[in-house]
Structure 1
Amino acid sequence: MKKNRIDVITLGCSKNLVDSELLMKQLLANGYTVKHDPDRSEGEIVVINTCGFIGDAKEESINMILEFAEAKKERKLNKLFVMGCLTERYMEELRVEIPEVDNFYGKFNWKALIADLGKSYNQDLALERNITTPAHYAYLKISEGCNRTCSYCSIPIMTGKHQSRPIEEIEEEVRHLVASGVKEFQVIAQDLSYYGLDNYKQAKLPELIERLAKIEGVEWIRLHYAYPANFPFDLLRVIRENDNVCNYLDIALQHVSDNMLKKMRRHITKDETYTLMKRIREEVPGIHIRTTLMVGHPGESHKDFEELLQFVKDMRFDRMGAFPYSHEDGTYAYSHYKDEVSDELKQERMDVLMAIQERIALEINEQKIGSTLKVVVDREEPDYYIGRTEYDSPEVDPEVLIKKNKMLNIGNFYDIKITAAQPFDLYGELV
């Protein structure tokens, strides 16, 4: 056990990661040594930043807390703190069930953790973070919370109403990050489409992205988690006109049948969804669309699922993920519907959906063979340098495996000629 060392463990999404990075900056400023997701935990203090989104994520968070509670009983650490979405949702139950934890914090009051260590929060560092990603890219969280009322989603229960950050504050943060070497920004929010409607009374995402694109040193901006209803169409012009705004959009569609969209409370129809996709592709030629789809929501019939399959074939999404419905307490679906689709059928539907997507992904990737693409190098492995194109977000999208015939620098951009393709990877060499 290393004195004055704090191990921070982050579970869940990139929005949680940003919170951990903000906390770590404050801990470092207060004289601690800080390790993020260490292979072996040796700190005298451990902080776990939890996820509470769906069943599997909650289970992972609870198992992690129990593992460190056991280590604390065995005197392998002095203090254990837990924060994040799971604690925001189940604070009182966790206090009772796991008394070994010194204190629990919700999603937004983690600053109290610093006070509980007998230290002070440094307001001058409020926009600064200890980046845990490779030094050339960072996640940029532009809002918290969500005003949508999708039937299946527990996130608004944990994060509350949508709160947009001021444009000037986000610009200042980007300048800080650029000065520290960040070139690529993954812009994230629970709902990008809603940005600005709360504090500016109008959709401000297009203006925000345009202003960020003008900041010197910003090489790539990539957009995550737009909502299809009330989509801010001026954003398409911004993507089209700014070379450093990637031709990429992550827009979670969830389903396409009118029956399911209504049950899911998505405020959009099948026809409107098809029209939206067509317009995005027409206005931004070559855009790569990532989406997420859900199978097994209560009421999903064989016909609904067949419509979803046809939709995937029609749309030929460049990037797609799928997940089975999880019956989450506190949600509209939990109190109004029975979780009637069996786990086996959910898994079967997901497998069928992803098999179709794998074929589509291979065909799309094969079309890139022979082309030259701008690629950022993320890391070096024994046989290849590993990079990404503007169409690929870290962790979730394909990578480019670059032949090691010349020395490349991590974080630099290169022109790479694509020589071969797999469904979820490209191969290339330096031009």
Structure 2
Amino acid sequence: MKKNQVDIVTMGCSKNLVDSELLMRQFEANGYHCVHDSKQPTGEIAVINTCGFIESAKEESINTILEFAQAKEEGRLKQLYVMGCLSQRYKDELEREIPQVDKFYGKFNYKNLLNDLGMGIIASCNGSRSITTPPHYAYLKISEGCDRSCAYCAIPLITGKHISRKKEDILQEVHNLVAQGVKEFQIIAQELTYYGVDLDGKRQIATLIDDIAQVKGVAWIRLHYAYPNQFPVELLDVIRRRDNICKYLDIALQHISDHILTRMHRHVSKAQTMELIRRIRASVPGIHLRTTLMVGFPGETEEDFNELMDFVHWARFERMGAFTYSEEDGTYSGEHYEDDVPADVKQRRLDQLMALQQEISAEVEAEKVGQTMKTIIDRKEGNYYIGRTEYCSPEVDPEVLIPATRQLRIGEFYQVRITDSEEFDLYGEIDEQ
């Protein structure tokens, strides 16, 4: 057990990761050494930043807390704290069930931990983060919360209403991160395209991204978690016009059947969704779309599912994730719908959908063979350097494997000629020309 060391474990999404990085910076300013995502505690203090999105994520968070609670009981850890979405939502229950935890904090009051430990919040470090990602890229959170009321989603219950960060604060953070060596920014929010509405009633995402793109040293910008309803099409002009904005958009669609979209309270139709996809692809030629889809929502029939399969075949998403519906406490669907799709049917539909996407992904990646693509190098593994093109977000998208026949610099860009492809990865070699 190392004195003055804090182990911080982040569960769930990149938005949680940003919170962990903010807390780590404060700990370090108070003289502590922080270790991120260690599998077992090696310091005196551990902080678990939890996820409460869906059942599997909640289970993973609880299991991690229990593992660290056992370490505390065995004397391998002095103090254990829990923060984040799960404890924001289930604080009272968790306090009763896991008394080994010294204190639970929510999604927004976690910095109180510093005061409770007898430290102060260092004002000069407010807004500063200790980056846990490779130093050439970082996540940039532009807002908190969500004003949407999708029937299945507990996130608004956890995070509250949408709150946009001030643009000047965001731009200052970009300047600070560039000064630290960050070149690539993953722009994240629960609802990216709603940015600014709470500030002056207008969607300001296009202006914000345009301003970020003009900061010297920003090499790549990638956009995550857009919403299809009332999509700000002026954003497409910015993506097309700015060379350092990746031709990439993460836009969660969830379903395509009007029957299911209505039951989900998505406030968008099949026709509107398909027209939006056409417009995005026409406005930004070559763009790669990432989406997330759900199967097994209450009331989903075989006809609804087949309609979804046909849609995926038509849309040919370059990137796609999918998951099965799980009933969440307090949501509209949890209180008003019967979870009537059997678990084995949900799993079969998920398997069919992902098998189709695997075929599409294989075809999409095969089309890149022979092309030379700008690639950033993330790391070295064995006999390969691992890189990504502008069409690839870290951790979730295909990577480019480059034989380590010569020394490459991590975090640098290279022109890479694609020589081969698999369903979800590419192979390439440095283009010497």
Tell me, yes or no, whether TM beats 0.5: yes
* Secondary structure at the counterpart of residue 411 of structure 2: coil
What's the TM-score, normalizing by structure 1? 0.99
Residue 338 of structure 1, CA deviation: 0.3
Residue 40 of structure 1, CA deviation: 3.9
Q: Deviations over 1:276-313 (max 9, x none)?
A: 00000000000000000000000100000010000000
The answer as to 2:377 corresponding to 1:377 is yes
The answer as to 2:82 corresponding to 1:82 is yes
Q: Distance in 2 between matches of 1:194 and 1:430?
A: 40
The residue type paired with residue 410 of structure 1 is I
Q: Distance in 2 between matches of 1:290 and 1:139?
A: 17
Q: Deviations over 1:94-146 (max 9, x none)?
A: 11111111111000001100001100001211121000000000000000000
The residue type paired with residue 107 of structure 2 is K
The residue correspondences of 1:293-332 to structure 2 (distance < 5 A) are 293-332=293-332
Please name the residue that 2:12 is paired with.
12
Q: Deviations over 1:175-219 (max 9, x none)?
A: 000000000000000001111001121000000000000000000
The residue correspondences of 1:109-124 to structure 2 (distance < 5 A) are 109-124=109-124
Please name the residue that 1:212 is paired with.
212
The residue correspondences of 1:13-412 to structure 2 (distance < 5 A) are 13-412=13-412
* Secondary structure at the counterpart of residue 368 of structure 1: coil
Q: Distance in 1 between matches of 2:195 and 2:222?
A: 15
Residue 415 of structure 1, CA deviation: 0.2
Q: Distance in 1 between matches of 2:360 and 2:72?
A: 49
Q: Deviations over 1:72-109 (max 9, x none)?
A: 11221111000000000001111111111111100000
The residue type paired with residue 235 of structure 2 is L
* Secondary structure at the counterpart of residue 129 of structure 2: coil
* Secondary structure at the counterpart of residue 357 of structure 2: helix
Q: Distance in 1 between matches of 2:404 and 2:130?
A: 31
The residue type paired with residue 23 of structure 1 is L
Residue 3 of structure 1, CA deviation: 1.1
Residue 39 of structure 1, CA deviation: 4.1
* Secondary structure at the counterpart of residue 338 of structure 1: coil
Q: Distance in 1 between matches of 2:290 and 2:97?
A: 39
Q: Distance in 2 between matches of 1:18 and 1:179?
A: 18
Q: Distance in 2 between matches of 1:330 and 1:74?
A: 37
Please name the residue that 1:420 is paired with.
420
The residue type paired with residue 353 of structure 1 is L
CA contact 2:41–2:68 (8 Å) conserved in 1: no
The residue type paired with residue 181 of structure 1 is G
Q: Distance in 1 between matches of 2:2 and 2:38?
A: 13
Q: Distance in 1 between matches of 2:32 and 2:404?
A: 39
CA contact 2:41–2:76 (8 Å) conserved in 1: no
Q: Distance in 2 between matches of 1:145 and 1:293?
A: 21
Where does structure 1 differ by over 3 angstroms across 4 or more consecutive aligned residues?
Answer: none
Q: Distance in 1 between matches of 2:189 and 2:31?
A: 31
Unaligned runs of 5+ in 2: none
Q: Distance in 2 between matches of 1:244 and 1:426?
A: 22
* Secondary structure at the counterpart of residue 70 of structure 2: helix
Q: Deviations over 1:322-364 (max 9, x none)?
A: 0000100110000110000011111100000011111111111
Q: Distance in 2 between matches of 1:399 and 1:102?
A: 41
Q: Distance in 1 between matches of 2:408 and 2:75?
A: 46
Q: Distance in 2 between matches of 1:228 and 1:141?
A: 20
Q: Deviations over 1:254-282 (max 9, x none)?
A: 00000000000000000000000000000
* Secondary structure at the counterpart of residue 146 of structure 2: coil
* Secondary structure at the counterpart of residue 59 of structure 2: helix
* Secondary structure at the counterpart of residue 112 of structure 2: helix
The residue type paired with residue 63 of structure 2 is N
Q: Deviations over 1:380-419 (max 9, x none)?
A: 0111100000000000000000122221000000000000
Q: Distance in 2 between matches of 1:384 and 1:17?
A: 27
Identity of aligned residues (%): 60
Residue 252 of structure 1, CA deviation: 0.2
Q: Distance in 2 between matches of 1:357 and 1:25?
A: 40
CA contact 2:50–2:84 (8 Å) conserved in 1: yes
CA contact 2:5–2:34 (8 Å) conserved in 1: yes
Q: Distance in 2 between matches of 1:357 and 1:74?
A: 46
Unaligned runs of 5+ in 1: none
Q: Distance in 2 between matches of 1:116 and 1:59?
A: 28
Q: Distance in 2 between matches of 1:69 and 1:399?
A: 37
Q: Distance in 1 between matches of 2:98 and 2:66?
A: 7
Q: Deviations over 1:12-52 (max 9, x none)?
A: 00000000000000000000111001244211100000000
The residue type paired with residue 61 of structure 2 is S
